[in-house]
Structure formats: structure tokens, C-alpha cells
Structure 1
Amino acid sequence: MTASAALEGALAADGPLATVLPGYAPRPEQLTMARAVADAIEQEKTLVVEAGTGTGKTLAYLIPALQSGRRVIISTGTRTLQDQLFHRDLPVACAALDRLVRTALLKGRGNYLCPYRMERTLEAGRLESREMADQLQRLRAWAGTTRRGDLAEAPLGAIDGRLLPRVTSTADNCLGQNCPLYADCFLMEARREAQEADVVVINHHLLMADWALREGGFGEVLPAADVTILDEAHQLPETAARFFGVTVSSRQLQDLVRDTRLEQQREAADSGALSEQAGVVERCTAELRLALGDSLRVAWVEVGPQAAQAARELAEAVDHLVEVLAPQAVRGRGLENCHRRSDELRTALRTFLSDDADSSRVGWVETRGQGFALRLTPLDVAEHFEASRQRHGRAWIMTSATLAVDGRFDHFQRRLGLDSAETLRLDSPFDYASNTLLYVPDALPEPKDPGFNEAYLNAMEPVLKASGGRAFLLFTSHRALRQAADWLRARDWSGLLVQGEAAPKQLLERFRETPGAVLLGTQSFWEGVDVRGPALSCVMIDRLPFASPGDPVLQARVAWLREQGRNPFGEYQVPEAVIGLRQGVGRLIRDVSDRGVLVLGDTRILGKSYGRLFRKSLPPMPLVRDLGPVEAFFADQSSTSS
């Protein structure tokens, strides 16, 4: 049997997939994608595929990848999708093809329990509360029974954000082969399994971290592969920008201080200067956070003189810590590790604070809670990304439901340097024309109008009543979300679920279980969320998701594009907003029998010239401006049946 015939047979109505996947039905779009993927693998090409919701893109790349018999790395956008792919989709594909394939799931090191750091934390005995002490004992008991050490499998409530950095390692503080508990390391075992596997499932953050590690000359995390498949590929440009840049965070500094004190007690008890200088770094870190003030996200050049001086003093304190650690590093592996980390942080801080003008990257700072991060972000990653990609693997498949703008891939290809890639765009097989409405309420002011939020909420409420809840309300800002939550609570709206008041996973579970629930969310719920059936029958989006004009990276990128004589609004801001809107819209219809209404409060989609680009990039949803057709849509009983 030829490879083409084997592929078509696997995806046929009476093929092996139908025997292992209840309700399986062949889709022409899926077969078209699978053929293109198989050809790209065979010819060792780069393929960019937009596969609309319902195409079945996961099996469309898994089946030809497995049939090729080559070593494959599959990277997804989030850990949730990574788990779903490994535990659900990959076993289905292997069973359908009746193949014994060695598979491995590999996450970033922060997802695995570190036995060494857990034991050091137990040994130190310095925890802020009885609750944390109880959690630590529960984790220790679990560590004796778990095979993988994946914290996603830890007992519910056994760990929280405060304890997490004390029982996990980072690239900075890991002792590697010098660790006395190296033989018990869950991370190293996961990496060994990955090196021996035929198919390895990872996420984009881990892929970028591996590239950075190799380019820095520090070895590798991932095995060499013949085929690399990047799902949810629309996230790649921003993920790459984070990893190709420089970051110094308060957590890195606090971890260094804590570990220096701990290792000084264990390996250099007679060197009080170490603990003293660690205390200076700790104080300077706290003073910088205080000088930065309330939550912010601004270019570094815009911070006040007090914060700039505090940063310089922090850099000097880290300099001195490096000097104090240097003669002590030979006394133990822990101190040697602390010395290396302090030296790397010194270099990163000095690079960040350098006065050298470089218009191709921007220095900025963001604060959240009691923490901060200083970041130096490249404005264009195309050259760096393409160079890294060329060094790893042969065949590349990049896919997502949202890569094209007005049917073209120019924006995505330009951002990642994929000019020579082949492209394929496949529409969703779902019947949007019959099963959806796009409602843009008439007479709403534009979002810049001071009265917009109240007008939007007043227009939104009768739709919620008509749908009986069963809705996602997606916002482009936390401020708008909070205002809407307060507004609905003042009207005693039941079944209200608000982002930030519980973990996203818990909110989704409650939404599915609560009849007529209404979930309010921002970025976390715009993508990667799958609610099928009548539980979600309405998605409301307040504004077109343009990035905030005050965002420091956006401001710098706009200026950089203008310097090159390019149009930042048409070339960057609009395409990014189009892709963002398409992600939000994608929450509405998740199955062939789903029906629903999309409410968009931003009349610019109809009144501005660029609105045409947004409309052409959306599924063919009938547009209505009055509430009547919306109420009639929900009054139709078929809209409430799955």
C-alpha cells in the first residue's frame, strides 16, 4: 500500500480511526491538511497551515507524522493543551494505526518536584505558616509514591504559589549532575525518556528555552528531531520575543538571596559576610519594588529618578555579592552555583541598565503584586527565530486556527522570517451562516467615548436575558471586567463567575456545571478554552482587541517600524487585533451542532475603513443591528439543544 493510500485509509469513514474514536466522521478539510503535512514531512519542507475550528487538525498532523516513522517533536501553546495532546489525542492516533510508539511528555522544570530543594526546605524549617508546613509534609509523602513528579498530579491543595519556588528548581539554581539527589531527579528522568522517545510532546516555552540553552553553549534539553510540529503557532512571535530577550525579576533575586543564606549555613558557616551581603541584595530588591510604585507596565526610560537610582544600587549590591561569593565558591557545589547565578544576574542587570542606544529592542518594567520584572525585549525576532529553526530539524509544520489576516499569511510569516514557507488555509466545516448571528448593537458610542462602558452594559443585559445566561463576556482590560462584574452583581445576576476569583480551570468546571452561568474573563479566556454544547451559547466582546497604546513594547515597535518607513497601524496593530478577535470568536462554536450569538460592542468594525479587514477575517456570520433577531434566535428551541 502506498503512503498516500495508507493515509486516506486511516482517515476514511470505515477506517481504523472510526473504530477507536466514537462519532468519528471524515472531513475533506482534515484529509487535505493531512496530505499537505505528509508531503512536507517527506520533502522536508516548512508548511504553515490555518485550520479552522472543527477541521480536526490534531489528527491531521498526528496520523501522517506517525506513519512517517520519523522522530517527531510536537509543541503546543499551553500546558493544558500539552496534557490533552499527550493523554488523549496521541493514544487515539497510535491505537488507530496499531503502532507501538515510544512517547514522552516533557514540561519545563518548574512543573516537576525537585527532591533536593524540597529536602533543603525541610531542613531549613523556615516557613511562614502552619499551612505551608502541612503542604510541605503532604508533598513529601506524595514524592514517595509518584513516578513522574509532575506537580499537576499532586494532591489538591498540596502546594500554592508561596511554596512552589521552594520545592522546584530553576535553570539558575539547579545543580545538575552535581546534585546529591541527581539519581532521584524527576526532571532528569523525564528528559531521559524524551531522549529515547519517538514522539515528544512539549510546549513553546520549553522549545524556546532549549534553543536559548544550545545557543548559549550550555547543552540541550530536547532530542534532535526529523519533524517539528508547532500547534497554536500564532503564539510563537511573542513567546520568542520573551526568550530572545533579557529578564531580571524580583523572584530571581529573592531565590538567590534565600539560596545563598542556606548554602552559607551548610558550606561556609564561618563566612558571615555572605549572609550580610545577601541581606543587602534583599533590601535593595525591596527598595526598587517600593520605588516603582503601584502596578505598572512602562518603558524603563519613563520611570522616575528614584526608581532608576534604586536599580543602580541593586546592581552594585549584586556586584558585591559576586565578589564575596567568588572565594567561597570552591567550598561547595551550592555556593558554586550561587556564584554562577549572581554573576549571570550581574551581567543581565548591567545589560539592562546600559546606556547604549539600540532601537531594535526596548527596556521596560512591569510590576505585579509585590514583584517586578525588568525586561529587554527585541522588537523583531524574525532573523533570530529563522536562524535557530534552521539549526534544528528538517520538516516544520506550523498550525493554528488563526494565522491568516484577510486570507493571507504575510503578517505571521514576516514576524518569524518564514518567507519561503508553503501555506495552506482551510475554512471551518461548521455552518456559521445557519447556526450563528453577529450582533453589533445599533447606536453604541465608540470605545473612546466616556459613556461607552455603561452603554455597552445596557445593551448587553437584554441579550443575557434572552440567552438565559450561558455566556462568556470577554474584555480587553481588567478594569472593564471589574466594572461589568460590579454592574451585574448590583442587578443580582445569578451564576456569575469572574476571572481572578478562582483558578481558570475551576471557573470553567463551574461554568459547565452551572445552568445559565455567565463567565467574565480577559486574555486567559480568549483562547484555548473549549466548551461544547448549549452551556455556551453567547460570546460577548466589548472592544476590538487592539493592544493598549500605552504598552511600552507596542510604543517601541511602532517607532521602530516608522523609522523604516513602514505603516505600523496597518502592518502590525490591525493584523494583531484581527488575530486576537478571531481567537475570541473561536470560543463560540466548538462542535457541528453548536449554535450561538456573537455580540460585539465595537461599532468601528462597521464604521472604520479597517473594519472591513476584521469582517472578512471572521466566519460567515449573519450581521444584525437590532435586538429582535437575537431574541428570536434564542427563542427558537433548537438553539438550546445540543
Structure 2
Amino acid sequence: MPDKFVVIDTETTGNAPKNGDKIIQIGISVVEGDRITETFSSFVHPFTHIPVFIQQLTGIKDDDVADAPSFVDIAPKILDLLNDAYFVAHNVPFDLKFINQELEYAGFPPFKGKIIDTVECARILYPSAPGYQLSQLAEWLEISHDRPHQADSDAIVTASVLIHLLDKLKSLPKKTLAWLDSLALGLESDIGRLIKARKNEKVRFSMEDDDRIEEFKGIALKKQVKTKTTDNEEQVEGESSFFSTDGLLASKWDQYEYRKAQEQMSTKIKEALESREHALVEAGTGIGKTIAYLVPALYYSKKTGQRVVVSTHTITLQEQLMHKEIPLLRETVPFSFDSVLLKGKSHYLCLRKFKQFLSTAPSTYEEVLGLSQILVWILETETGDVEEINIAGGSGSTFWEKVCTDDSIFSKASQPWFSRNFYERAKARADKADLLITNHALLFADIKKKENLLPSYKHIVIDEAHHLDELASKNLGTNLNYFYLNQVLQRIGTQDQPGLFQQLLEYEQVTQHYFSSSWYQKRQDYYTLLKYEMDELFRMLHQFCRDQTIQKHTDVGRLSIRYNPGNEKSSEWQAIKDTVQRILILFEEEEKAWLSFYHFLSPRVPSGSNEEGKLYDFKTAVEQVEEICESLVSLLLEEDNNYVYWMEVDNKGAANATYLYSRPVEVSDLLADLLFAKKDSVILTSAALTIKDSFSYVIKKWGLEDFGPSELQLTSNYSYDKRAKLLVPEDMALIKNGEKEFIMATAEFIYHAASITEGKMLVLFTSFDMLRKTYYQLKKWDDESDFALIAQGVKSGSRSKLMKTFRQHEQAILLGTNAFWEGIDIPGEDLSCLVIVRLPFPPPDEPQTQARIEQMKREGKNAFANVTLPQAVLRFKQGFGRLIRHKNDKGVVVVLDRRILESSYGTDFIQSLPALPIIQKPSDDLLSEIATFFYEE
């Protein structure tokens, strides 16, 4: 007899039954075998008013439930269906909590049987799904879902999802089922019995696994697909007419629209590659710059056999290239080509570490869930890239850190996992690629490290190049904090402290007691002393930072001070240096001891064993200690005149929570020596590279003066003069006359403008504190919740999550700071009004900005004109670019900072924009301008 699953969904007056919230509708679908055998649904009289927001969400009104049965009337039917069945829901805790509360109130016993949460099961069995809300899963599984947030419809859709999940479970190989069986007790759903039954069935009937699956070292995974190398004898034709109205792109893509600027950009890049010169290309919105640089890069690579690297700022843009533009080119060009996406090691699953972790007892629910997800994912993935898997916390989670690829040693001779290592496979593919897609972080890590993280290349296209100096500075600098240092030390451990040393010690004792008890005791003593000295060092740094900031009357939020490691003369700093020296001596002694331990075990540990994996991890941790020592020296004992040093502490953080940073003040010489002098052609492109129509600022800033780069500036072909306006309220309060008045005036303008545009507004701030205060002022006025107010840092969630929320609401106002000035795309009617609260001058207390200003003053140059203003203008261009994303977009940009029209430097900002109407009037008149602009015939 098949298992019986009773799928229940409820609509309620709220989310807290203990506080009196009640069920207003219930839907039930019974699943037996692989089909829905029975359904039941009913409104339920809640004996209370249904809140307005619940009525809006569900469509259920008070009149709908006025004559409905009470829960006590339908309880017997529910209990009869649940007899000997699994209770299934999409988010079981919610629905079960309400059902049991209502059963208790009605005088019936609560349900205490088996449960299945389709959210949890979907996360495990569909680890690559885009999301796990019911509507997301329904769309992904192509299940019709006509009436979301109606219990009868939701129950049927959840039942359909369950049927898919049970079918997926049946398809899993025996080895995967066996591992899932061992993890099932740690899950919230009672699916262990279903897993065990399917595993036993496969064993009993000798059922074969899918021939696309292989078993390796005790785990089942997808067989490697050997990639075909492209034929270099193919004819590489069609480049000269690629963009023309009768060219290749037009013939393959119905939506193609010829853009002269796109062809000009492509030609410029082709010339730069062929003449082996560097090039600067500013390409405004709508030019189609991605295809414009991919086409000449691809043709050049195929013609010459020389790889071209394309580097972007974010992983998101990498993914866009690989899943949108590259497939389009594959369909278009008359030849085959290899394109590979390569990321940093930590983005790839390490099967060795995963198997090692799987063989231990996971300690948390997140670990059980994560391991279960990966067990299914490795049956499907060819890349092992974390971006493919919807894992809690993503690539930054503590769990992922335990299973991702790191700097552990790999050797084909001694490392049996080498052939299945996803990162090594990605590198091997990259080595054969015509186009290699990567990101700026990995690009600079490759430049900085002695080992080659990227295959050799002589030609590179750097997209979003306005980040070049910022990322070069960050990646060529040094960071260190107590938590990282302590984490590395804990990972190593001792005889008495849990860690890799202790785990490997068991093997050393089994093979031979080579090291004396006094040797082990010394390790314990030094370890304890190291922990003490490290804690003491970062406590002293924390106090040093607090003392300095208190003197500056800065005692709120995160505290930050600059320091000069070679010139600090106080007794406190001398004590810090003495402690660093003691730590370095201890680390040097321990590093020798740890390496002797490693070298003793290395030839004695069987190849392919868990111990060998732990030994690799141990060696990696010891190498990290060596890097930490180098960082301590460069951050606290030595000083480079071209570097700025600062430390930060959280005013309310732990007493040793100190963060140390060093960055080069100027990167021009570094970029010239490490990048431009070593490459034949570097193409730098962005929408914001020029100031007053000149590239001179970035040429000097990036060290390109001696290389004579070619230049091309292409403005957007959108009709800004007809589709956009720039508005500046002449009666806007000045912040210098009082921040409170300025924030009040800002909030007032936003509120009235949003009433005209019906939300659809992005507000860009330069200060989170100002954003927060404006948000709370708007909340006070918006009593009836006319607008969805979404604020970065106030509402939880990543930038992408906040963007998604913004798009989902018809009347939304999104308040953002740094992360929203660029890299977001809100086309069409979703965004009608962009408000720039203040001109985006860099914070004057930001360490690198301070250091650059000081350097300019030493050279007798105008720091405002050479540092502050150019940065602000380029940032302003990026922010302005958020409004018009497509040719049919229409909107207004409001700048609440009157300095843009009233100061001598305001023209620098105006000249950075495309030609468009600029209007300065009182606020009320501007509101009328906005209304006329959007609603005139």
C-alpha cells in the first residue's frame, strides 16, 4: 500500500496563533502513489476582523468568511484525512502550528505524526532551484499556479511539487541514498524512512544507477564530460560586416538594431589588439558595449591563436556574459570557439574536503542540510561552482568554507582526487580557452601572487574599468584581523586543543611515537602563549585606536584611525611592537615544529586516505601562518611611503576586534609595472572614464602616461533631451545650515514627488546615517503605507534581494547608498524618478582619500581639483546612469544639492551628463514639472 501524504495549506489573519491569529481558509490535497487522490477546501470563520494587508495579500474579505464553518466543524474531516498519513506543507512549522493550535482550542489532540516540509525537501532535491517560495518552485517546475495565497490553490500546487520531489528521490543512485539516509535524522522532515525504503528497493532488485553517474571514492557524482577542442582550421569570417544591417548579427538575431557607436567601439578594439596597444573606451548606456568588445576579442583570438581575457567587476556580470552574450555569439559566428569562466578557488567545491566532512558527524542543522544538498548537486554539476547551488549563506557561509577549494597542496602523483577536482578542471579548460572570462579580484590576485592563477595571456579587456585603481589598491594591499588569525591557529590546534594536529596525532601514535612527550608539551605551551600574545596584541591595538579617536571626539559607530608603523613614538606603540616581535619568534619556532611533524607523517600516510587530506589541510594552515607573519611585519613594523595604514574597531565590539589595513596611496606605478608593461594590449572600458570629455585624469591615475593609449569616447544614442530632465530645487535647505532641516526637506520632497510618480523612485545617498534618518521620517508620514519603503541597511537583505522587492511592488521607494550608485539595472516603468541627495564627494575621513589629498598638498597641487572633484564627477555619472537604461525609458533626475548649479565646480558635473533640459525652480514648481512631464499627452 503506498504512503499517504496529506498536503495542507492555510491562510490566516497573521503569523502568531498564540497571539490570537486565526485560520481563515484551509486547503487539503491527498497524494497517494504519484497522483492527487482527494481534495478538500473551505473558508473558516475566524470570529475576528481580517486585517487589510491580509485581504490585499489573499483576496479573502470579511464577507467571504461570514457564513463559513468554524474550525471545530471541519476538524473531524481534517483528522480523518490525517490518520496514518504524513502531514505535508510548504513551510510545515507555520501550518502545523496553526492546525495544532486550532485543534487544541476545539478540544482535539494535536497532530504528532510524521511531517514533510516541501521547502526543506526542495532545497535538498533541487539544490540549483532559483528559489524556494512556492511560486518560484511552481514556475521552475512548470506547474500552473493561478491563485497564489489561496489555500485551495496553494495546497494543490504544493501537492504537485511533492510528487516531483518523490519522483526525484526515486531517481537518486544507491550511494547517494545511503549517505542521505545517514544524514536524515538531522533533518526536520521525516523523510528517512522514504530514503531507506528506496535505497533497499534498489539494492534488493539490483537496480542500476543512471549511466551518466559514476561512483568515486565512496560518493556518487556526475561523470566528467570530455570537452571537444575547437578546430583551428575553421574559416574565421564575417568580422568586417558583423554589425552591419545585413551582417551576421542581424541575420541571426531578430531583435538586432544597428548602432553606429557599437560598430565604432568594436573597430577601435580590433585595431588596438592588432597593433598591440592599450585603449580607453568610454561607452554610454545603450551602445551595447559587451558585444562590441566580445566580437573583436573572439575574432582576434581565433585568428592568432592567442587567448584574450575578459575581466568584469562582479560575478553577476561574469554569469551574464556566459549565459547571455556568449550563447548569442555561438549562434552567430561561423566557427566554434571555447569560452571558459574562471573564478577564485573558493568558488569551487573540493570533493576531498566534502567527503572528509561527510565522513564526520555534522554538528548543526545547516551542515546537515548543506551536505545533503551537495550530495544531490554533484550528480548534476559539471563545474562545482557555488553560484550554481542555492546554498544557505552562499559562498560566504561558514559551511561553504569547510568544503570549498583552498590552497591545499595538489599533486597528481599523491592526490587521488586531483582528476575530480573542480578547480583544477576549470583551470585546465581555461588553459585551452579562446575567451577567458574572469573578474577583477582574481585578475589582481593573479598579478600579485607568484603562482599563476590565470593561464598566460597578453591581451585583456577590462570592463567596468572605473574600478581599476580601487581594486588594484585593495588587492595589492594587506588586511589582518584577530578573528582570522585565531581561526588559523584553531584550525591547527595541539595535542590537547581540537584541530588538525590532534586528528593527525592519532595516526602518528599508531605508526610510531617519533616525537617525545616533552616535544608535545612544548607545542601546547607555545600554543597557549601564542593565543595569549595574539589576544593581548589586538587588545592593545583596540585601546590604541579608541584612545586616538576619543582625542578626536569621535566616539560613535565604527572607529577608524590612520597610523604610521615606522614613526609612532609612544610607549603604547613600543609595547605593541614588542608584542609583535614575541609573536613572530613564537610563530617561527612553531612553524619549524609543525613542518617537521608534516614531513614525518607525509611518507607514512596512505595515498587517498582521510589522513592524507587532513595532512594537506594542515600544511595549508601552516603556510597561512607564514603569510600572517609577513602581514604583521608589513602592517606593524615596517612602513612604505606610498602606503596608507589604518585600523578600525567597532565601538561596541569585542576588546580584541581590531582590523588592520594597508593600501597603496597611488597605484599608477604599480599598474604601469605589473599590468600595462607586461601586456600587449589592455582595453579599458566603462560608462564613466572621462571628465570634461577628457581621459587625462584616468590616464595619469592609472599610470598610462608613458604608454600612449588610444582613446574613444562614445555617448549614448538615447534621446535624453526628450526622455529625461534634470531638476534642482532652488529653495532646498543647505546642509551647512543644519542637517535636521536638510533631512526634513529631503524627506518632504521625496514624499511629494513619489505621490506624483506613484513610487518607482530610487534615492541615492552618500551617507548611511542620512539615509536612515530620512527613512524613518518618511515612515512617520506614510501612515497608510501608500508606498513600499525599502532602505539599504534598514531592511535586511542583499542588494539583489532589495532590488527584487522593489520590482515586486507597484509603488515603491528604494533608498540606497554606495552599492546602488552603479551596477543596477531597472529598465522601463519600474523606475521613473532618480533622486540624488548630495553630490557624491568621497568621505574626507576615508584613509586613502586623506592620504591622496596630503600627497597633492605636498606636491603643491590643488587637492580638491586633482582628487576630490574627479572622484565625485565619475561617481555622479554612474549614479545618473541608473535612470535611462533602454531607449524607451522616460524619467527625471532630481539633484537636491544646489551646489551643482550654484558652485564654480558645478559645471564639471553638468558637463559629464548627456545634453538634457536642466531646470532650477522652487520645489513646488518642480513637482508641477514632474507631473506635467509624466502625464502630458
Q: What's the TM-score once normalised by structure 1's chain length?
A: 0.91
If asked which structure has higher relative contact order (CA below 8 Å, sep 6+), I would say: 1
Question: Over residues 242-295 of structure 1, what are the superposed CA-to-partner deviations in whole Å (9 max), with x where a residue is unaligned?
Answer: 122222234531331232122211323573554664555555555626645652
Cα distance between partner residues in 1 of 2:573 and 2:583: 15
The one of 419, 434, 457 equivalent to 1:183 is 419
Could you tell me how far 1:556 is from its partner in structure 2? 1.3
Contact 2:746 2:774 in 1 (8 A): no
Question: Over residues 300-348 of structure 1, what are the superposed CA-to-partner deviations in whole Å (9 max), with x where a residue is unaligned?
Answer: 3599987985686466335413312312313334443333221221121
Which residue identity does 1:410 align to in structure 2? S
Matched, 1:266 2:532: no
Could you say which structure has the larger radius of gyration?
A: 2
Could you tell me how far 1:156 is from its partner in structure 2? 4.4
Alpha-carbon spacing, 1:359–1:310, altered in 2? closer, same or farther (3 Å): closer
- Partner residue, 2:689: 403
- Partner residue, 2:374: 139
- Partner residue, 1:350: 633
Cα distance between partner residues in 2 of 1:325 and 1:573: 46
SS at structure 1 position matched to 2:729: coil
Cα distance between partner residues in 1 of 2:527 and 2:405: 20
Alpha-carbon spacing, 1:257–1:472, altered in 2? closer, same or farther (3 Å): same
Cα distance between partner residues in 2 of 1:385 and 1:328: 38
Alpha-carbon spacing, 1:223–1:252, altered in 2? closer, same or farther (3 Å): same
The alignment yields a C-alpha RMSD, in angstroms, of: 2.8
Could you tell me how far 1:533 is from its partner in structure 2? 0.5
Alpha-carbon spacing, 1:347–1:253, altered in 2? closer, same or farther (3 Å): same
The one of 475, 482, 489 equivalent to 2:779 is 489
SS at structure 1 position matched to 2:558: coil
- Partner residue, 2:437: 201
The one of 450, 470, 478 equivalent to 2:760 is 470
SS at structure 1 position matched to 2:736: coil
Unaligned runs of 5+ in 1: none
Which residue identity does 1:336 align to in structure 2? K
- Partner residue, 2:619: 336
Matched, 1:58 2:290: yes
Alpha-carbon spacing, 1:461–1:75, altered in 2? closer, same or farther (3 Å): same
Question: May I ask how many residue pairs the two structures share in their alignment?
Answer: 630
Alpha-carbon spacing, 1:529–1:272, altered in 2? closer, same or farther (3 Å): farther
Cα distance between partner residues in 2 of 1:352 and 1:209: 19
Cα distance between partner residues in 1 of 2:876 and 2:863: 18
Which residue identity does 1:15 align to in structure 2? G
- Higher mean C-alpha deviation, range 514-523 or range 137-146: 137-146
Which residue identity does 1:516 align to in structure 2? Q
Alpha-carbon spacing, 1:547–1:390, altered in 2? closer, same or farther (3 Å): closer
Contact 2:297 2:435 in 1 (8 A): no
Matched, 1:628 2:925: yes
Q: How does 1:418-567 map to 2 (within 5 A)?
A: 418-419=704-705, 420-450=708-738, 451-492=741-782, 493=785, 494-500=787-793, 501-567=796-862
Could you tell me how far 1:103 is from its partner in structure 2? 0.7
Contact 1:362 1:377 in 2 (8 A): yes
Could you tell me how far 1:372 is from its partner in structure 2? 4.6
Cα distance between partner residues in 2 of 1:529 and 1:41: 30
Taking only the aligned residue pairs, the percentage that are identical comes to 28
SS at structure 1 position matched to 2:269: helix
Contact 1:136 1:158 in 2 (8 A): no
Q: How does 1:13-32 map to 2 (within 5 A)?
A: 13-32=245-264
Contact 2:383 2:426 in 1 (8 A): yes
Matched, 1:298 2:561: yes
Cα distance between partner residues in 2 of 1:457 and 1:85: 39
Contact 1:267 1:331 in 2 (8 A): no
SS at structure 1 position matched to 2:893: strand
Which residue identity does 2:699 align to in structure 1? Q
Contact 1:284 1:310 in 2 (8 A): no
Which residue identity does 1:467 align to in structure 2? T
- Partner residue, 1:152: 387
Contact 1:441 1:459 in 2 (8 A): no
Question: Over residues 75-127 of structure 1, what are the superposed CA-to-partner deviations in whole Å (9 max), with x where a residue is unaligned?
Answer: 01111111111211122123221321111001112222233444455566575
Cα distance between partner residues in 2 of 1:350 and 1:119: 37
Cα distance between partner residues in 1 of 2:802 and 2:288: 26
Cα distance between partner residues in 2 of 1:95 and 1:308: 66
Cα distance between partner residues in 1 of 2:383 and 2:574: 44
Could you tell me how far 1:544 is from its partner in structure 2? 0.9
Cα distance between partner residues in 2 of 1:376 and 1:322: 23
Q: What's the TM-score once normalised by structure 2's chain length?
A: 0.63
Could you tell me how far 1:198 is from its partner in structure 2? 0.7
Matched, 1:211 2:494: no
Alpha-carbon spacing, 1:611–1:39, altered in 2? closer, same or farther (3 Å): same
SS at structure 2 position matched to 1:584: helix
Cα distance between partner residues in 2 of 1:312 and 1:639: 73
Question: Over residues 354-412 of structure 1, what are the superposed CA-to-partner deviations in whole Å (9 max), with x where a residue is unaligned?
Answer: 254x4321111234777653111111111111111245431221100000011111111
- Partner residue, 1:33: 265
Cα distance between partner residues in 1 of 2:356 and 2:486: 16
Contact 1:439 1:598 in 2 (8 A): yes
Unaligned runs of 5+ in 2: 1-234, 494-498, 507-516, 547-556, 599-615
Matched, 1:231 2:463: yes
SS at structure 2 position matched to 1:7: coil
Matched, 1:242 2:508: no
- Partner residue, 2:661: 375
Contact 1:534 1:639 in 2 (8 A): no
The one of 881, 887, 906 equivalent to 1:611 is 906
Cα distance between partner residues in 2 of 1:522 and 1:459: 18
Instruction: Write out the 4+ residue segments of structure 1 that deviate beyond 6 Å after TM superposition.
Output: 302-308
Cα distance between partner residues in 2 of 1:608 and 1:462: 27
The one of 317, 321, 326 equivalent to 2:592 is 326
Cα distance between partner residues in 1 of 2:474 and 2:593: 34
Contact 1:411 1:572 in 2 (8 A): no
Contact 1:8 1:31 in 2 (8 A): no
- Higher mean C-alpha deviation, range 275-284 or range 81-90: 275-284
SS at structure 2 position matched to 1:329: helix
